Amino acid sequence: MTQQSNSIDQIAAWARALEAGQVPPAAFALAKKAFLDTLAVSLSGSQLDSVRIVTALASELGQGDGPCSVIGHGFKADVLAAALANGTAAHAELFDDNNEPMMSHPSASLVSALLPLGQSRGLGGAEVLLAYVAGFEVNVVLGRQLNPRLYEAGWHVTRTLGVLGVTAACCRLLTLGPQPFRAALGIAASMASGLRQNFGTMTMALHAGLTARDAVHAALLAEKDFLSDGEALDGKYGFFNLFAGAKPQALPLGQPFELVQSGIIFKPYPSGAPTHAAVHAALALHDRLGDRLHEMAAIVCHVHPWNFMTLREGVPADTLRARVSLRYCVAAALCFGALGSAQFTDEALGDPLVQKFMALIEIRQADDLPDNGLFPAAVEVRLADGYSDTVRCDIPPGAPAMPMSEAEADRKYRRCAAIVLDAPAIERTRAMILSIDRLADVGELCVALEGGGRP
């Protein structure tokens, strides 16, 4: 694109001008898959304690009974409270999608902001889908430029960088003019935050909810002529210098679209992405060893150096920490031959064989694994009689090179949705999501996702 005066101008000009005809059909198809996946994990995540607390507080503060559906909780709230609750639910199980260059979860906050905002304005699914594409593109292009510095500094990029792209998506959905669009991005820059130190706690999920809420808030403030500094991204004390220590070299938005170029990683396991390659290897070893699992004498996880920066060490004290613990995820996969929601319970965490395996696990850095951003790993086991076996996984399932099939995506949706919805509602909502571009009003879908009564 032609050079604009600064990054805010470039982002606003590109996102405002984006039309559906410019978006490759493959990008729209993947965006629909992202909505299906995100709403699946939002339904299952809605029943976790973190989300129950957020929704209960919204009711206590008088934010209930608004126009926007709170997923899985059977009631409505104001647009900000709904975005916060739904975004927290989307990230609560760490089951939501990833993008490799963004090094974060793009869809949790995008979907959770756009649906209540669209519902509050009676907007159609095609408009929401196009806004998603715009926000995804902004976030991944920025992530490609600013990472790994942003992530290495300790920021949770889902929150810190995510608020910029989600704000751009909200502005696109509201069709804001040039000045309010730019102002909203400047407002969002001052909302950026999110510490990786809070990984493995309720606050990790809250990051996605805060991002969705803040993006909606920034767009609505700007719509009312609230102003910000035009150099909030590029300035001496702007976002890029403070968070990443450098300004992006270029912003090649839509050249090509990142939904096509880098795609989306859809998770088969409800745990941190850096565990997935090792889990996949551990599951294969479980099948190979069968009845000999009790003879385990040693377990070595060979991982990429990035794993050490991302995952928590030690033995996890609770199920939230377990989701970001390579030690637990590998031990559970070896023990149970599965890693789903049923493996993140107090009972599973306390299983004697899981505890034994965690104590045996040694995690080593391996320099021969590919630097592909997918946290490749190899798991080596040794039994008491000296028998050993190793399984290596360079590309975990769900990555663009090993994509989740439509059948697998459907199974994930049905399994997650069944926690909240009955069978007819599951099929009805699934059909609406997959044809979201034909919905005249996304409110119809949002209401269908509310589920049962208050928590």
Q: Where exactly are the structural domains of the chain?
A: 7-265+406-448, 273-393
Mean pLDDT of the region 207-236: 98
The confidence band for 250, taking pLDDT boundaries of 50, 70 and 90, is: confident
Task: Tell the CATH superfamily of the 7-265+406-448 domain.
Answer: 2-methylcitrate dehydratase PrpD (1.10.4100.10)
Model confidence over 357-401: pLDDT tens digits?
Answer: 999 999 999 999 999 999 999 999 999 999 999 999 999 999 999
* CA 10 to chain CA mean position, Å: 25
**In which element (H, E) is residue 222 found?**
helix 202-223
Q: Tokens 């975990």 map to which residue? A: 396
- What is the dotted CATH code of the domain comprising 273-393? 3.30.1330.120
Mean pLDDT of the chain: 96
Mean pLDDT of the region 216-240: 98
Q: Tokens 């119809």 map to which residue? A: 444
The confidence band for 455, taking pLDDT boundaries of 50, 70 and 90, is: very low
Mean pLDDT of the region 427-446: 98
State both tokens at 99: 């993008």
150: β partners: none
How many Å apart are CA 233 and CA 230, to the nearest integer?
A: 8
How many Å apart are CA 452 and CA 455, to the nearest integer?
A: 9
How many Å apart are CA 294 and CA 335, to the nearest integer?
A: 9
In the chain, what percentage of residues exceed pLDDT 90? 93
Q: Check if 7-265+406-448 and 273-393 are the same fold.
A: no
* Integer CA distances (angstroms), 134 to 12, 39, 127, 330, in order: 10, 19, 11, 37
pTM (2 d.p.): 0.96
Output the pLDDT for position 2: 40
pLDDT(452) > 70: no
Residues found in the chain: 455
Relative to beta strand 361-365, strand 296-303 is parallel
